[in-house]
Chains A and B, each alone.
Chain A
Amino acid sequence: MPRKRFDLTFPPNQATKPITYHLVKDYDLTPNILRAQIQPGQEGRMLLEITGPKESFDAGVAFLEQEGITVQPAATDIKLDEDACVLCGLCTAVCRPGALTMSAETGALLFDKDKCVYCEACVVACPRRAITLSF
């Protein structure tokens, strides 16, 4: 069964319908919210992982778009500009899932892709702007 991650952007004052409920009930999809930031009166964002039969995918996405939500494929990797990186390690301080760590012996930056939830915390924290999310 296909599984995909989507980056949803909600316009202000739009998040009224329980979208995950509808994805389950009407489209037979299994949504999993990885991260969400939704506040009344402000633009909201959600990182949503959807699992389900291939036929339902497009219909489910169309439903979300109909609700005024912008749906984009979510990042699936982070890219490090090694020339810009100074190996300071500040990104490791904000990576809660422990995907980015520093080797205590060598001081090298280590990335464990399986642990990354693409939260962008490292992107914002990096003083060299050396990290970008990629698709």
Chain B
Amino acid sequence: MAKTWEEINARIASGEAVVMTAEEFGVLAADEGLKAAAKKVDVVTTGTFGPMCSSGVVLNFGHSDPPIRMGEITINDVEAYGGLAAVDTYLGVTQPSRTKGIEYGGAHVIEDLIRGKAVRLRAQSAGTDCYPRTEIDTWVTLDDLNQAYFFNPRNAYQNYAVAVNTSDRVIHTYLGTLLPHLGNATYCSAGALSPLLNDPTYRTIGVGSRIFVAGAAGYVAWEGTQHNPNQTRDENGVPVAPAGTLAVIADLKAASSEFYSAATFTGYGASAFVGIGVPIPVLDEEIAATLALTDADITATVIDYGVARRSRPALGRVTYAQLRSGEIEIEGKKVQTGPISSIAKARRIAAELKTWITEHKFELVQPLQLLPQPGSQGVKPLDIHTEEAN
């Protein structure tokens, strides 16, 4: 009963496609069986809304008169990269403001742009024959820019760690504040709704896949940085720790502040919540089986962030259903849990994507190239050498 991409897209175009969110599909498969669910449903939508530090935007400001080759660039006092062509820049979400520090970072500039606010652009240059201006100080809005698009090198991590702290002091991490002596546990994944957990071996999600990025239609541009298909997997083939990642691209001008939010993690830095949603075609029963997995079937590894080393000790595995209950047990101790990735927003994204497909006939794009597959590559560490290697 296998379906092809073309058949599914034809059904979307004619308005007949049956589309469900990953949560709804899990319920249907439990009620009617996997075979029936796989036959009935054409597309399953996923969603996630968590802090994604490796995100940022490419901007082009247009030329002033006389023109400037922007060298040192700040936007609302946040430094943007000056190593591209004259009026191109890249602004990363974690870059802190020179005046407000991590309370206002690149992420906040991007949110202000999406909200239509004017931002102060200042740049300096040594001046050249063709770009004589040495300084510029002006205000711009998103509408004023020629191009503005997200290029996020690493989004939608396939699973993540559960963070705890066995040390005797409070620590501030990108997974929130961790209380001493296993005082709490934080976790950061949309679980059963998470895009890459629904297609654990990247059969349908690859370079060129059309996806939802911060409220805009965007694409998977490449494998994300630190993409690690070789991560340990469970009996369903689902990674039990951080594994695959996506590099994504999307128009900032079409993004929405409902699905993109700047963030500041106290004692750590600025970041941004980015909403990502991926539609997955129900091609056959094999993919249906992973689409049907629920929070009770998917596990994450508990990691001790109290040890500030690359290789931190693992303290066992728990399911997302246990994590969502608000309490897990680690080494015989009851530990309160708190999420970082918004499940309410993840549901909104999966539902929104469903509407795009059913009402606006958003068609699926088959990957032009697959992501590196399990067995192909892992993640290399950075070793510290004292002399140049030959």
Please state if A129 and B264 are interface contacts (CB–CB under 8 Å): yes
A52 to chain B, nearest CB (A): 34
Can you list 25 A-B contacts (CB < 8 A)?
A: A87-B343, A87-B345, A88-B273, A88-B340, A90-B338, A90-B339, A90-B340, A91-B338, A93-B177, A93-B184, A93-B185, A93-B337, A94-B177, A94-B184, A102-B324, A102-B343, A107-B342, A107-B343, A124-B266, A125-B176, A125-B177, A127-B263, A127-B264, A127-B265, A128-B261
Whether a CB of chain A sits under 8 angstroms from the CB of B212 is no
Within the assembled complex, what's the spacing in Å between the Cα atoms of A108 and B348?
A: 13
Is A104 interfacial (CB-CB < 8 Å)? yes
Q: Which of A77-135 contact B (CB under 8 A)?
A: 86-94, 96, 98, 101-102, 104, 106-108, 121, 124-125, 127-129
Task: Find B176's partner among A86, A94, A98, A104 (CB 8 Å cutoff).
Answer: A94
Determine if B344 and A108 form an interchain contact, defined as CB atoms under 8 angstroms apart.
yes
Complexed CA–CA distance, A88 and B266 (Å): 15
Q: Which bucket holds chain A's interface residue count? A: 20 to 34
Distance in angstroms from B44 CB to nearest chain A CB is 19
Cβ–Cβ contact B326 & A101, under 8 A: yes
- B325: interface (CB < 8 Å): yes
CB distance from B336 to the nearest CB of A (A): 7
Residues of B within 8 A of A107 (CB): 342-344, 347
Chain B interface extent, by class = 20 to 34
A94 to chain B: which residues have CB within 8 Å?
176-177, 179, 184, 338
Contact of A87 among B264, B265, B326, B342 (CB under 8 A): B342
A102 touches B264 (CB 8 A): no
Interface of A is mostly: loop
**Best-buried of A90, A92, A101, A128 by chain B (most CB within 10 Å):** A90
A104 CB to nearest chain B CB (Å): 5
| CB within 8 Å for A102 and B273 given contacts A86-B342, A107-B343, A127-B265 | no
Distance between A93 CB and nearest chain B CB, rounded to angstroms: 2
Does B95 lie at the interface of the complex (its beta carbon under 8 Å from any beta carbon of A)?
Answer: no
A22 to chain B, nearest CB (A): 32
Nearest CB of B to A13, in Å: 24
Least Cβ–Cβ distance between B71 and chain A, in angstroms = 32
Question: B186 at the A/B interface (Cβ < 8 Å)?
Answer: yes
Asked if B150 is an interface residue, CB under 8 A from chain A, the answer is: no
Given A104-B324, A127-B264, residue A93 in contact with residue B176 (CB < 8 A): yes
Are A89's CB and B345's CB within 8 A? no
User: Is residue B183 within 8 Å, beta carbon to beta carbon, of the partner chain?
Assistant: yes
Q: Which residue of B lies closest to A84 (CB)?
A: B261
What are the 8 closest A-B residue pairs judged by CB atoms, nearest first? A93-B338, A127-B263, A107-B344, A107-B343, A89-B339, A87-B344, A92-B338, A88-B342
Residue B51, interface by CB 8 Å: yes
**CB atoms of B326 and A104 under 8 A apart:** yes
**Interface set, chain B 321-368, CB cutoff 8 A to A:** 324-326, 336-345, 347
Q: Once the chains are docked, how many angstroms separate the CA of A7 from the CA of B237? A: 54
A128 contacts B338, CB within 8 Å?
A: no
Chain A CB within 8 A of B271 CB:
yes
Q: Does B25 contact A (CB under 8 A)?
A: no
Residues of chain B contacted by A92 (CB below 8 angstroms): 326, 338-339
Interface string of A51-85 (1 = CB under 8 A from B): 00000000000000000000000000000000000
Docked pose: A58 CA to B185 CA in angstroms? 44
Residues of B within 8 A of A108 (CB): 344
Interface residue B49 (Cβ < 8 Å from any Cβ of A) = yes
A96-B179, A121-B177 known; 16 new pairs, CB 8 Å cut-off, are A86-B261, A86-B273, A88-B339, A88-B342, A89-B339, A90-B339, A92-B326, A93-B338, A93-B340, A94-B176, A96-B336, A102-B326, A108-B344, A125-B177, A125-B266, A128-B261
